[in-house]
Structure 1
Amino acid sequence: MAKGFFISKAVAVAFVVAAAGAVATIIALSVVYAQEKSRNEPTAPVTAAPNTSTTVSTTTSGPKEPWQRYRLPDSLAPVSYNVTLWPRLKPNADGLFIYTGNSTVVFRCVKETDLIIIHSNKLNLTTFEDKHAKLNGLNGATAPALKTTWLETPTQYLVIQLKSRLQAGSSYELFTEFVGELSDDLGGFYRSEYEEDGVEKVVATTQMQPTDARKAFPCFDEPAMKAVFHMTLIHPQGTVALSNAMNHDPVNITVDGQDLIQTRFQPTEIMSTYLLAFIVCDFSYIRSDPAAKTLIRIWARRKATEEGQGDYALQKTGPILTFFEGYYNSSYPLDKSDQIALPDFSAGAMENWGLITYRETSLLYDPAVSSNGDKEWVATVISHELAHMWFGNLVTMRWWNDLWLNEGFATYVSYLGVNYTEPTWNMRDLIVMNEILGVMAVDALASSHPLSSKEEDVLRPEHINELFDSITYSKGAAVLRMLSEFITETVFSKGLHTYLEEFKYKNTVYTDLWKHLQMAVNDNSIKLPQPVEVIMNRWILQMGFPVVTINTQTGKITQKHFLLDPDSTVDRPSEFNYEWYVPITWINTGRIEKQHWLLEKEEVNKDIILGAGEWLVANINMTGFYRVNYDSENWDRLLAKLSSKHEDIPVINRAQIIDDAFNLARAKMVNTTLALRTTKFLHKDVEYMPWQTASHNLNYFFLMFDRSEVYGPMQAYLKKQVTPLFDYFKGLTLNWTRIPEKHTDQYNQVNAISLACRTGVEACNSLTTGWFKEWMENPDNNTISPNLKSTVYCSAIAAGGKKEWDFAWSMYKNATIATEANKLMYALSCTKEPWLLNRYLKYCLDPNEIRKQDASSTMVSIAKNPIGQPLAWDFIRANWGRIFNDYGGGSLSFGRLIDGVTKRFSTEFEYKQLLQFKEDNAEQLGSAATSLEQALERTKANINWVALNKEQVFEWFNNEASSPV
């Protein structure tokens, strides 16, 4: 994400021996935990803090006490942790899964203080003489006596007041003992359950990013608080323990008559708490060649490993690691790379240093069942996480306000890593489709946000969680790609090398990166109109991006902040007044590429003035993060060129022309009929990118009009356009008996069948329902191509009824391969039977039917169905309290739930419902707060757009549907 200090070996060994002896003591704490489980929050103070309040101040002056602030004081710095944990993989008498443990953190006093503040959340701490911890001095230092301790619930702290002061420069160690719950909330130290060979099994695993390490054990849980971790896990016989570092040989121990295993791990590198991972499971693994420099292991459920589902990941991990070592000019910092596929995982993957955790769909691949899209996803996620091993793990952002430095960078270079290991996939171009076009729609909202915020604006855990969005990942990738392009990739990678060398095992802010890239620019005599920092700050410190308008008659080039709804109010100030330094590239009729830096709001460049019959297209291969508008004459010439010889315009720019036109139309900068005209050439084009972009943009028309009279003629027009594409792929695949060779052709075959079935091409519907019927008649022999399964399943279930739905549900419940289960889970939302959709919605809140990790995405899939959308919205409103509390108000997918369920909203009634929802749940929005604001803004824009465009859109589709191709 996903995501030098030292303690002597003698001290570590001594601690482990002592910890083993303490295990019997901490068993008794499980009883305490069971008694306190009824409480939803940590225990109240054992000894109340004198003259203090345990609530966070809401006065304008801000919190008065250090423990009321969400950032740790700068008085202490952790050096190392010794942590011993014993997870129970079976429930206790009260039905709870618990773990017991203790932790000793060695820290250095930086500034004299009589206060220790350390994060602790949802842990029941043992008390020693009414105190929550023990304190010792090291290296001759005397530890002050503890005056009082308490748990500060709002800020998630264990607070320790001392009777005298800690001395600056001295080192101390703090010991805590605790019980926690291995709940199924997918955060901190949690449990994942699955069934194998009829046996229910439990995995104890972790997800710490961004602020959940404190749920596992007390720690200084901020990214800049790096330390060395010495981990010890106690676990049942027949299981294996994993952590970031390599383990020492496990030893058998006996505690209260139980035969257990104790696994101790080598000390980690100096690292942040959010990168810590530890797992107890009975998985098996495959590994790299013993002669390889780095040990690579792919862990998964035993059946998945036996079936070879980890083979592709193992095959690609080594080459991708090699690529990044060359790209960064820096050796992989660790001696092993474990990657593990988990049945339950909230994110796609997490870059824990040395032990990367994945959803099964992000790591496992079965060529007999998984599609080429599944394969690309696995390769891309692996590449993304491996990129973090240097950029994020070795060098880490100082605070979460610069999360984009981690995630935007890893997103960008993940495409380079996959391109290296799968060179025929054209991944350098696919980043445009997968990341850039989608995030431009988000960043064009007035409720968007800059890539980098001020530290003081990102304090609470829910605020941090909000940053894990498409702006951080996809826009971050887009602007870094743009930067790499205009300074050249070679210079970009050289700057990264010196950046990593200077700051390894440390923390940075974005200006550190600009500094090193500028050094590389200077060393290689790259000429820029402004320094790197001056150019790039405009792209990361203000939200949004420009639309560049080029007038080919006068040579005038202008820029302005592009807003999808031009009537929206931008209330976020910008020191740059929403102006950018824009690297403009273009080609004209002669296909000669030219460049221009737009540094002002308006400039003139005579090179763009065209002669009669000439055309110009700007932003070649969409390397710049901006939209382009033209004078009407050039628009007409571009459309004429697309109609006569579309191949003269690069394929990415054909997609860009479509996407720009549709978005410019929504912003009222061009007529909507102009945007629709950009799709008329498609009956002759067989490339994936233009078709995918058109399909994506026309989907907005489906969302706005599939409940109105516009739908009929729109469907007729699209049927006319897609039929030649459907026939093309029928011929290319020899009547659907072969898989296209080209990666993007495989994608476009899916577009052809999906859109053909959606618009009523008779041969398509009979094809998909026939394939599905054959499978129903012989469930053990599914001959449907893996690439086409999602489309075929959806089409057949939409055309069928209860029989088809129940069959698909049965196949979903029995699926042993996660990618197959995902396809069926999506397709089940395609039914047109309201009662089946309502039943499916209820399943979403039953973890025995739909895993918690999949609940929000399933509800969004149901809402994409025009019949399911109002059902899903009613269901979510009726069950919001339960969804928020049981499914994690702070989870990373929570905001996407609101976003996905409200995309169709386009009436005043729906807008008022959203406002009412906001009012009713003001205290229960968590990480969905930003998404709700964006949904309100988008709904208002949709209302205005439909009112303005419905009549002319209806007329245009009517005319075009009846006219010859």
Structure 2
Amino acid sequence: MAPPTDRDILPNTIKPLNYDLSLFNLEFGGEWSYDGLVKIDSKVKQSTKEVVINTKELEITGAEVLGKDGGSSIASMADVSYDKANERATIKFSGDIPAGDAVVAIKYKGVMNNAMAGFYRSKYKPATTPSSGTPTDGEFHYMFSTQFEACDARRAFPCFDEPNLKASFEFEIEIPEDLVAISNMPEKGVTKGSKDGLKKVAFEKTPAMSTYLAAWAIGDFEYVEDSTARKYNGKNIPVRVYTTRGLKEQGRFALEHAHKTLDYFSDVFGVEYPLPKSDLLAVHEFAMGAMENWGLVTYRTTAVLFDEEKSDARFKNRVAYVVAHELAHQWFGNLVTMDWWNELWLNEGFATWVGWLAVDHLHPEWKVWSQFVAEAVQTALELDSLRASHPIEVPVRNALEVDQIFDHISYLKGSSVIRMLSNHLGQEVFLKGVGDYLKIHAYGNARTNDLWAALSAASGQDVQAFMDPWIRKIGFPVVTVAEEPGQIGIRQSRFLTTGDVKSEEDETTWWIPVGLKTGTPAKVVHSALTQKEDTVRDVDDDFYKINADQSGFYRTNYPPQRLVKLGEAQDRLSEEDKIGLMGDATALAIAGNATTAALLSLLEGFQKEKSYLVWSQIASSLSKVRAVFATNKEISAGLKKFALKLFSPAAEAIGWEFPEDEEWLTGQSRKLLLGYAAGAGHDGIIAEGRKKFSAWKSGDEKAIHQNLRSVVFNLAVANGGQEEYDSIKREFRKLTAVDGKEICIQALGRSKNPDLAWDLLEFVTSEEVPPQDAHGGIVAVSSNNETRPVAWEFTKKSWDRVDKRLGISGIVIDRWLKMGLPKYSDTAVRDDIANFFKDKDTGRYSRSLVIASDTITANAAYKERDAARLLEWLKAHGYA
């Protein structure tokens, strides 16, 4: 079969079957180099004199081709050349490699880099005295781990680095005797090393898998352990959380969730977890949130560690979810892998949805589907309403372009449409189809249509027909409602946040689940809009809402008087309904389909709301409006007054005390309400917070409840000066609870002093702050209405520093720009950004720059269009 022409791939002359990889002569310090030998059992399709293989920053020092048994030499290396742009090496041999089975043995030199990709080193300050063999350069010590997705296995060893070239792996590494090595599979054996003080650690052979899922780590590790409750092949599977010495107890919360989640997925998929162990590793420097390497999942520290005594309870939710997401990949992504990177969403969209499904199973009291609507669905709708968006399934010709589609479209839009489909088919039917898909394609690769085929067979519906536009077309619809007695007209059209859709951009007709909630008591009537316009009959004029529980991925534009009525019918709305209404009203105001006055009128009606997740959406909607109008002093003051009046009663009622055994959601409400009221200028809350901060600063560690550190730190810095700022900076430096560092960076960004904002940005781009945490600084400064201009000025003036420190990882620098730049709402800033980057190499973050430009354009148009009407409303209602 001829290779596909829609992708730039290696010649298909050789297919790998097994990698036998050995690493030795690891140099800790200096060049940080190592030697490697990889023997690749291969199927040679046709006689050839050369092997083209992926490499990056490796030096191939020798190669030979051995017979099937790995014994006799058939040919040796005559020459090697490197194509750096395409990350390939061509090894020419002295003789022909005949068709059939052969072993390609390659000797090479590599580097344990500090770029958070390939086989790399992470520096950290130890929590306790490390073992004597731990590499160090004084204050910092080092651990070593791998990050291969998407295209970085080639940085660690020469390989056929494409997702559908699956092979098994055997791995061995020589390390100092007092360090620990872990890999995808259990340890096979330990033998004496080549010199005193060294040992060789070998691991069992893996099943067939993609190169990007191979993994290993070495360091001064310890672990906490448990095992699955259910048996697999007659045995309970050991589950461990590994950390550097002194942190293992912070892994217990993740551990408890990990073994339960493995059992849950084995049950709901009807496919047992296929490996003999499951390890989770906390990595000190990590660009992503986590990585699903089969049997050895690696995590950013804040995504896997939780200190019961010191950590903020909000991190429980994060850890439980990230653990579930990565373990979902052990099936969906690892056991069955997408055929090529254009179908990345198959891995990520599904793992996101089913990750929340597992958290909901373990914590129904957290109401995570309301959280999903408030966070995932709204975030995805926001990005997908830009011209700069892309379809869920996006063409990828060259795999080196793929990093930029690890974004909210692949993860959050992907998971949102999966949720929509699951709700339509019924969760039981949906999961049966998924289980069938996993069984059919186990240990192989699959495409989107393979999933649709399995779901169609399970449901008896033509899933591909109605899901294709959602996956392969850009954007999503807004459904506009027109009212008539006893019925409504509904019309779908493409939604853009800039409000200027051209006819050629509005050619898609989506299958839209209408989900009409109507009547007393309210019931849901299911139907679908499958054309541009339709009429829905038997509608109760007193109450109706479409997109019940916000299960469809679209916006709804109601007549203004209906929005008011819906705000008055809160007892008939679910939390998801309320969140969706506010999210839609905000987006429609920005796009010009509705007004900010209509949004504020809607929000006003929710002053007595009890749900944390609804309050979270209120805060999000209001913050967006306040950010856009921040430079208009009169409107800004009016919106602040509006926020103070809206939040104060609930904040005062909930108070500062955390009762024993309080529900997790109530604790989150307290933090949100007190924090937002303080930000809106509530004198009493600010005074109480400053009092607590003062006591804490004087040495009373218990003066601030662990769940209120962010609230108190934020308001202390926002309403203080140099002294408060310096106190939090000192706290950042001495903390061992990993989430606390994130809280400190965000608090430092609340200062209203431009000089302190500049200092923060210099601090987060210094060697002292891990690169993955640096973007938190720019987001904090960019989100601060007082200091926003500083973020862009610093980025411009200190670009060499930013690029050097954060540019070691394309993912981190992309996040710095993606999360900071779209906060602006002035076309002059937009144009300045475009001008600044026009002579830069923006390949790693070009998509984010277009997203920023589109967002700023929409914000600026919104500000200009709605300012006069908004000010009029604020004055009429006594806020200005």
Same fold by TM-score, threshold 0.5 exceeded? Answer: yes
Shift of 1:579: 1.4
Name the amino acid aligned to 1:445. Answer: L
In structure 1, what is the equivalent of residue 103 of structure 2? 173
Cα contact 2:658–2:667 (8 A) shared by 1:
no
What pairs up with 1:476-875 in 2 under 5 angstroms? 476-522=414-460, 528=461, 531-553=462-484, 555-567=488-500, 577-590=507-520, 591-608=522-539, 610-611=540-541, 614-639=542-567, 641-642=568-569, 646-709=570-633, 710-730=635-655, 736-738=657-659, 741-778=662-699, 781-847=701-767, 849-875=768-794
With over 3 angstroms needed to count, the CA separation of the structure-2 counterparts of 1:68 and 1:175, relative to structure 1, is farther
Shift of 1:331: 0.6
Q: Deviation string for 1:322-354 (max 9, x for gaps)?
A: 110111011110110011111111111110000
Cα contact 1:67–1:155 (8 A) shared by 2:
no
Cα contact 1:341–1:363 (8 A) shared by 2:
yes
Moved more, 310-319 or 896-905: 896-905
With over 3 angstroms needed to count, the CA separation of the structure-2 counterparts of 1:89 and 1:344, relative to structure 1, is farther
Shift of 1:391: 0.4
Q: Deviation string for 1:610-646 (max 9, x for gaps)?
A: 44xx12111111111111122344234223x24xxx2
Name the amino acid aligned to 1:619. Answer: N
With over 3 angstroms needed to count, the CA separation of the structure-2 counterparts of 1:177 and 1:747, relative to structure 1, is same
Cα contact 2:251–2:305 (8 A) shared by 1:
yes
Q: Deviation string for 1:879-914 (max 9, x for gaps)?
A: 334433543375323322212222332223112202
CA distance in structure 1 between the partners assigned to 2:493 and 2:305 by the alignment = 45
In structure 2, what is the equivalent of residue 247 of structure 1? 187
Cα contact 2:338–2:346 (8 A) shared by 1:
yes
In structure 2, what is the equivalent of residue 208 of structure 1? 148
CA distance in structure 2 between the partners assigned to 1:289 and 1:319 by the alignment = 9
In structure 1, what is the equivalent of residue 174 of structure 2? 234
CA distance in structure 2 between the partners assigned to 1:866 and 1:510 by the alignment = 43
Aligned identity (percent) is: 29
CA distance in structure 2 between the partners assigned to 1:869 and 1:96 by the alignment = 41
Q: Deviation string for 1:269-305 (max 9, x for gaps)?
A: 1111111111111111111159961011111122112
1:82 aligns with 2:38: no
Shift of 1:265: 0.4
1:938 aligns with 2:855: yes
Q: Deviation string for 1:41-68 (max 9, x for gaps)?
A: xxxxxxxxxxxxxxxxxxxxxxxx9999
Shift of 1:740: 7.6
In structure 1, what is the equivalent of residue 119 of structure 2? 189
CA distance in structure 2 between the partners assigned to 1:860 and 1:517 by the alignment = 41
In structure 2, what is the equivalent of residue 108 of structure 1? 43
CA distance in structure 1 between the partners assigned to 2:769 and 2:281 by the alignment = 22
Unmatched 5+ stretches in structure 2 = 131-139, 230-234
Shift of 1:231: 0.3
Cα contact 1:67–1:152 (8 A) shared by 2:
no
CA distance in structure 2 between the partners assigned to 1:793 and 1:109 by the alignment = 63
Cα contact 2:64–2:74 (8 A) shared by 1:
no
Cα contact 1:586–1:594 (8 A) shared by 2:
yes
Name the amino acid aligned to 1:862. Answer: V
Q: Deviation string for 1:498-524 (max 9, x for gaps)?
A: 1111100000110000000011012xx
1:928 maps to which of 823, 845, 857: 845
Name the amino acid aligned to 1:431. Answer: F
Shift of 1:741: 2.4
CA distance in structure 1 between the partners assigned to 2:312 and 2:847 by the alignment = 34
CA distance in structure 2 between the partners assigned to 1:633 and 1:756 by the alignment = 29
With over 3 angstroms needed to count, the CA separation of the structure-2 counterparts of 1:570 and 1:118, relative to structure 1, is farther
**Partner secondary structure for residue 605 of structure 1:** strand
CA distance in structure 2 between the partners assigned to 1:870 and 1:801 by the alignment = 19
**Partner secondary structure for residue 288 of structure 1:** strand
Name the amino acid aligned to 1:220. Answer: F
2:359 maps to which of 411, 418, 434: 418
With over 3 angstroms needed to count, the CA separation of the structure-2 counterparts of 1:870 and 1:86, relative to structure 1, is farther
CA distance in structure 1 between the partners assigned to 2:781 and 2:643 by the alignment = 24
**Partner secondary structure for residue 189 of structure 1:** strand
Name the amino acid aligned to 2:184. Answer: N
1:296 aligns with 2:239: yes
CA distance in structure 2 between the partners assigned to 1:399 and 1:601 by the alignment = 34
Moved more, 219-228 or 282-291: 282-291
Shift of 1:958: 2.5
With over 3 angstroms needed to count, the CA separation of the structure-2 counterparts of 1:882 and 1:135, relative to structure 1, is farther
Give the TM-score normalised by the residue count of structure 2: 0.94
In structure 1, what is the equivalent of residue 309 of structure 2? 368
In structure 2, what is the equivalent of residue 119 of structure 1? 54
Q: Deviation string for 1:68-117 (max 9, x for gaps)?
A: 984212222101111111364631xxx33222222111211234544421
Q: Deviation string for 1:934-963 (max 9, x for gaps)?
A: 111111112211111111112212332459
Cα contact 1:450–1:544 (8 A) shared by 2:
yes
Give the TM-score normalised by the residue count of structure 1: 0.86
CA distance in structure 1 between the partners assigned to 2:776 and 2:158 by the alignment = 33
Cα contact 2:184–2:294 (8 A) shared by 1:
yes
Shift of 1:878: 2.7
Name the amino acid aligned to 2:157. Answer: F
CA distance in structure 1 between the partners assigned to 2:653 and 2:756 by the alignment = 36
In structure 1, what is the equivalent of residue 873 of structure 2? 956
Unmatched 5+ stretches in structure 1 = 1-64, 523-527
Moved more, 152-161 or 663-672: 663-672
Q: Deviation string for 1:125-162 (max 9, x for gaps)?
A: 21x4xxxx222232699845655420111100011245
CA distance in structure 2 between the partners assigned to 1:886 and 1:825 by the alignment = 17
In structure 1, what is the equivalent of residue 377 of structure 2? 436
In structure 2, what is the equivalent of residue 400 of structure 1? 341
With over 3 angstroms needed to count, the CA separation of the structure-2 counterparts of 1:739 and 1:585, relative to structure 1, is farther
Shift of 1:164: 6.0
